[in-house]
Structure 1
Amino acid sequence: MSGLSSVLGPALKAAAGLAGINKLWFLPTFLAAITYYHYDLYDPESKPFDVKSVAPEYDFIVIGGGSAGAVLANRLTEEPAWRVLLLEAGGQETEITDVPALSLFLHGSRFDWKYKGQPSTTSCQAMIDRRCCWTRGKVIGGSSVLNTMLYVRGNRRDYDHWASEGNVGWSYQEVLPYFLKSQDQRNPYLARTPYHTAGGYLSVDDVPWKTPLGIAFLQAGQEMGYELRDVNGEFQTGFAPFQFTMRRGMRVSSAKAFLNPVRLRKNLNVALWSHVTKLLIDPITRRAYGVEFIRGGVKKTVIANKEVILAAGAVGSPQLLMLSGIGPKAHLQQKNIPVLVDSPGVGGNVMDHIAVGGIAFLVDYPISLVLQRAFNLNSALRYAISGEGPLTSSVGLEAVGFITTKYGNASDDCDKFYNEVFAEINNRDVFGVFPMMLRPKSRGVIRLRSNNPLQYPLIYPNYLTHPDDVKVLREGVKAGLALGQTAAMKRFGARYWDKPLPGCKQFAPYTDEYWDCYVRQYTMTIYHMSGSCKMGPSTDPYAVVDPQLRVHGIDGLRVIDASIMPTITNGNINAPVIMIAEKGADMIKYYWKTPGIAARQSRNTNTTIV
């Protein structure tokens, strides 16, 4: 299981019993109630059509139907003359994937690629085989079907930094319109501010179910001297309630937001259960002209008249580039792959947000989201009938604090705390604080296991290989403990659950040495994998794509997903990935609709063509 799941191990086990073993009535009753009360919402015809057969050629082929791919398929088919094929390796969403409280149960399911990092000596020490799981969505909608639906754009300094590194057009003021373009902000107070808007495809709303601990968390932040903020507003440092990609208490995945409304467009074909295995590239002209994929056990080929667009994510995109001859020359030769472009940055620069698990506080009052209150007949019917109740809670996530440790920069270089009310320990209500590092200095690597496209790549997250990352998380733990000591939390009798971590018993509790050990034991990925196909100008030898998201050294090929991030953004990355796809779609439209521009622009390359 994932790092977060290991923290909640007893809770998940209990929930499994409640939902499937001890109370066999819950799941079928729940599904029947949803079907009865929401038959119109769950009509199979409302989902994207899965074409039975793929045409020989299209104008654009989009690989991956996740957060980026769904946006691209929508925006490109706004041009009626363009035929677009969206290839997705997984299948459809289900009623269960719509339920916010069940998101953790989807990890390790058929909706998950089930990747795992390689064993580590610096992190994930308390995990099985010292490996952190890398949950990635294998379903239409991608990881937006499995995530906790948090809508966080990041810090304006993230994007200004991208622009300062030569990525023209990617400053905060230039990307903000693309965040607004997607958004349908359902909180009327936020919708009237300059940082939000209504009417877009992507619903953003407040969670219907709240506990007193969420409010107390915000009050605790004020006691610590922080302002209350709009997490996506002018300033980020401070405490804020979360915003969610949610509508009527149900998950809004990228597929539900961007594909369902346009499923009747004649120029859009969606092919599910289609695993792309290779990009077709002319070795003479260095132009991508199609893809190979496997569907129903049969290898197929399809041609792209204009462009092939990789939106397969931080693992899938570099893997496909390398399998197709674009990557570090020595590595490709070692795997017996003919080298088309020696691009040393492919699969490098891997980033993720990691947190520290297990920082739990016992409370004396029955106020938290515990399993017995969520998984019962009353909550199931309440959810099915009115879209309310504890099942609308995103695994207890309610509020967040962005703070700066003594190792941070002058402003907005933050640790992030989740207030997660997750389980009962020793039959008591509990809340958890999860310090999360937002600007890691450690970098990971993705490499091919072999030239077999069906074999998963080797993932080396390299968490905490830079000593500064350990220091930041250590200070985050201290700040989390201080939050539990505020008057706002003490009202509920909050006290730290100080059971020593078995792997750190050799160190005195509460010392820096103990917390350093704790951080390395209880490393939790937050599943924000990014950076493995870095965006940068031709002067950057490790850049994989240019600021127009075109692959250096290859014509007709772009990468548009989280892998292009030069540095990771401050917060959950689903909203930034959707923004990247919105902006990328406009770049493609400009390129092909401006008379003569495709002929005038030469390939911008920083790579060695072999």
Structure 2
Amino acid sequence: MKYIRTSITFLLISLSKWDEEPPDQLNLLSEYDFIVVGAGTAGCVIANRLSEVSEWKVLLVEAGTNEHFIMDIPIVANYIQFTDANWKYYTNPSDKYCAGFKNKQCHWPRGKVMGGSSVLNYMIYTRGTQQDYDNWRDLGNNGWGWNDVLPYFKKVEDYKIPEFSNSEYHGTEGHVYIEQAPFRTPLSKAWVKSSKELGFPYGDFNGPKPASVSFLQLSLKNGTRHSSSRAYLHSVKKRKNLHVSKASMVTKLLFDDSNTKVIGVVMEKFGVKHTIFARKEVVVSAGAINSPQLLMLSGIGPRSHLESKQIGVVKDLQVGYNLMDHIAAGGLQFVVNPQKFSLNTANIISHPSYVFQWMKSHTGPLSVPGGCEALLFTELNNKFNATAWPDFELLFIGGSTNSDPLLRYNFNFDTNIYSETFGPLGNTDAFYGVPNVNASEV
């Protein structure tokens, strides 16, 4: 009976959350002060900030639709990639990477939903180090030094990790909750403890000593995903000057007669094309893949590529070049004693007591984002120096690839390679560490 009561309560709360997003605007204006393309991690922030000025009319355009309450559950982060909230992109086939995957292609998840990729990601909150930003500044990117960006990091945060509280590095009045998962497996506790015993410093990897080990800092709010949409749009859903157009695909940017200023967009919604103009600016925040795609569709990009697609060239620029992603390898599994609790997602979400624990209090195993629990940042040539510039990350995951068959499809594993590598493990409890290497070091 208590499970039934909890389920009904959870369902009612979940249905009520559907109305917390700004509504889909069906009657669009022909002109706004600002048009923001993409309601993802950045677009939600920009729309919130711009619409603070009540006399400005702001249009936020998103190709996806509402963020669903199931997306709140941290443990199912990888499952969301199988829904329509994901663009379902693949990398090109190559002999240099993704060699263990079907057709030598990796999946490249990108959010197609209110909140964008902040709804698909694993909620791990890492800001980078002072050396990263100062290096980008020194390369010619004025305004991107550490002292320039730190105030904005602090403005973003509502930091809820008392042991790392530091007013010089963290803020407590921002929109985005930052906390640690309310559940830890014995495996993750042992991993952090053993790292400390080996000599790696324990500390705040978003603080003054980034080369350290600790449990993950996460964009969670009371054990639930705190996406950019939830953080920045839910609280402003009643602003009269903010219109949100969902299920709307921007297909082209419009230019003035001199081809030097963007003055509007062409977008398609429910099969109908709309031309909408911007009095002040169009902000393109459609993500690492869709933003350059939109620029190139509009004639901004490499001349040779645009001409090969019969697209008129407005500006010959190297749009899309120098795109980088983190280089990782996650194949090494460590089998553990069955009495040692590991995060087998399939078992956890089919276990009524764990499910109802999360429904009731947002605690327990379902509050761990995709099974990720802790990490270690270090500089390989200076391993135990907490102030070093990290070039290596080791992410601890309290589950394993073999124990969650859907991970096979998440990563697009080649069937034979998956069977030979993970098949002999069966459903054995295990954990693994994922090494990530700084792309500039390769």
| TM over 0.5, shorter chain | yes
Cα 1:66/1:428, change in 2 over 3 Å = same
Deviation, 1:192, is 4.5
SS at match of 2:42: helix
Amino acid at match of 1:35: L
Change (3 A) 1:105 1:31: farther
CA distance in 1 between partners of 2:389 and 2:289 (Å): 29
Match for residue 430 of structure 2?
430
**Matches of 1:146 and 1:83, distance apart in 2:** 29
1:203-214 to 2 correspondences below 5 Å: 203-214=177-188
TM-superposed deviation, 1:237: 0.9
State yes or no: 1:106 paired with 2:80: yes
Matched, 1:288 2:288: no
Letter of the 1:304 counterpart = A
In structure 2, what is the equivalent of residue 415 of structure 1? 392
Return closer, same or farther for 1:99/1:193 CA change in 2, 3 Å cut-off: same
Aligned to 1:552: none
1:585 corresponding residue in structure 2:
none
For the 8 Å contact 2:186–2:340, the answer to whether it is kept is: no
Paired residue for 2:330? Answer: 357
Correspondence for 2:234: 260
**Per the alignment, in what secondary structure is the counterpart of residue 308 of structure 1?**
strand
- Contact 1:108–1:135 (CA under 8 A) maintained in structure 2: no
- In the superposition, relative to structure 1, how do residues 307 and 422 fare at CA in structure 2: closer, same or farther (>3 Å)? same
Post-superposition Cα deviations, 1:5-51, rounded to whole Å, max 9, x if no partner, equal: xxxxxxxxxxxxxxxxxxxxxxx999755214x358x3332112111
SS state at 2:370 partner: coil
User: Structure 1 vs Structure 2: percent identity of aligned residues?
Assistant: 39
- Residue 142 of structure 1 and its aligned partner are, at CA, apart by 0.1
User: Contact 1:402–1:412 (CA<8 Å) still a contact in 2?
Assistant: no
Deviation per residue, 1:114-158 (Å, 9 max, x gap): 111110101111101000011000001000001100111011111
2:137 and 2:156 mapped to 1: Cα distance? 22
State the partner residue of 1:165.
139
Q: Which 5+ residue runs of structure 1 have no aligned equivalent? A: 1-27, 442-467, 470-610
Give the match for residue 10 of structure 2: 34
Structure 1 pair 161–395 and aligned structure 2 pair: CA distance change class (3 A): same
2:375 matched to which residue of 1?
Answer: 400
In the other structure, the counterpart of 2:414 is: none
- State whether residues 396 and 422 of structure 1, in contact with CA within 8 Å, keep that contact through their aligned partners in structure 2: yes
Deviation at 1:224, TM superposition (A): 2.8
Say if 1:39 and 1:336 are closer, same or farther in 2 by CA, change over 3 A.
Answer: closer
Distance across 2 between alignment mates of 1:61 and 1:98 = 28
Mapped contact 1:31–1:95 kept (Cα < 8 A): no
- Residues 43-122 of structure 1 aligned to structure 2 (within 5 Å): 43-122=17-96
Q: Which residue of 2 aligns with 1:140?
A: 114
Tell me what 1:377 maps to. Answer: 352
1:151 matches 2:125: yes
| Residues 33 and 278, structure 2, Cα contact 8 Å, conserved in 1 | yes
Query: 1:437-476 deviations in whole A, cap 9, x for unaligned?
Result: 12x14xxxxxxxxxxxxxxxxxxxxxxxxxx63xxxxxxx
Deviation at 1:186, TM superposition (A): 1.8
- Counterpart Cα distance in 1 of 2:5 and 2:142: 54
Distance 2:130 2:23 in 1: 38
Distance of 1:171 and 1:214 partners within structure 2? 34
Q: Which residue of 2 aligns with 1:336?
A: 310
Query: What does residue 244 of structure 1 align with?
Result: 218
How many positions carry a matched residue from both structures?
Answer: 412
Deviations 1:294-346 (A, max 9, x none): 00011111000000000011101111111111111121111111111111x20
Which position in structure 1 is the counterpart of 2:209? Answer: 235
C-alpha distance in 2, partners of 1:227/1:33? 44
- Unaligned segments of structure 2, at least 5 residues: 404-424
Matches of 1:250 and 1:78, distance apart in 2: 27
Deviation, 1:223, is: 2.8
> Is the CA contact (8 Å cut-off) linking 2:348 and 2:355 kept in structure 1?
no
CA separation of 1:337 and 1:265: change in aligned 2, threshold 3 A: same
Q: Which amino acid aligns with 2:35?
A: I
Contact 2:348 2:366 in 1 (8 A): no
State whether residues 210 and 390 of structure 2, in contact with CA within 8 Å, keep that contact through their aligned partners in structure 1: no
- CA distances 1:175-203 after superposition (whole Å, capped 9, x unpaired): 00101101111223434442112121111
Report the secondary structure of 1:418's partner residue: strand
SS in structure 2 of the partner of residue 278 of structure 1: strand
* Amino acid across the alignment from 1:401: L
- TM-score normalised per structure 2: 0.89
TM-score (norm 1): 0.65
Q: 1:186 to 1:64 in 2, by over 3 A?
A: same
Cα distance in 1 between the residues matched to 2:164 and 2:7: 34
Secondary structure of the structure 1 residue equivalent to 2:150: helix
RMSD: 2.1
Q: Which 4+ stretches in 1 moved above 6 angstroms?
A: 28-31, 407-410
**Per the alignment, in what secondary structure is the counterpart of residue 314 of structure 1?**
helix
Q: Deviations over 1:409-461 (max 9, x none)?
A: 993232111110124444432110100112x14xxxxxxxxxxxxxxxxxxxx
2:254, 2:264 within 8 Å by CA — same for their partners in 1?
yes
Q: Secondary structure at the match of 2:296?
A: helix
1:310 pairs, out of 284, 299, 303, with 284
With over 3 angstroms needed to count, the CA separation of the structure-2 counterparts of 1:234 and 1:426, relative to structure 1, is: same
Tell me the distance in 1 between the aligned counterparts of 2:70 and 2:312: 44
Summarize the alignment of residues 571-586 of structure 1 with structure 2, pairs less than 5 Å apart: none
Q: Secondary structure at the match of 1:223?
A: helix
Question: 8 Å contact 2:259–2:314 — kept in the other structure?
Answer: no
Per the alignment, do residues 209 and 329 of structure 1 end up closer, same or farther by CA in structure 2, a change over 3 Å counting?
Answer: same
Asked if 1:225 corresponds to 2:210, the answer is no
1:427 & 1:44 partners in 2: Cα distance?
37
CA-to-partner distance for each residue in 1:260-298, whole Å, 9 max, x for gaps? 001111110000000000000124252110000100011
**Counterparts of 2:380 and 2:6, CA distance in 1:** 45
Instruction: Give yes or no for contact 2:74–2:368 (8 Å, CA) kept in 1.
Output: yes
Deviations 1:43-71 (A, max 9, x none): 33211211112110000000000000000
Contact 1:361 1:430 (C-alpha < 8 Å) held by counterparts: yes
1:387 aligned to 2:372? Answer: no
Question: 2:361 is aligned with what amino acid?
Answer: S
Paired residue for 2:272?
Answer: 298
Matching residue's letter, 1:412? W
| Cα displacement (A) at 1:238 | 1.8
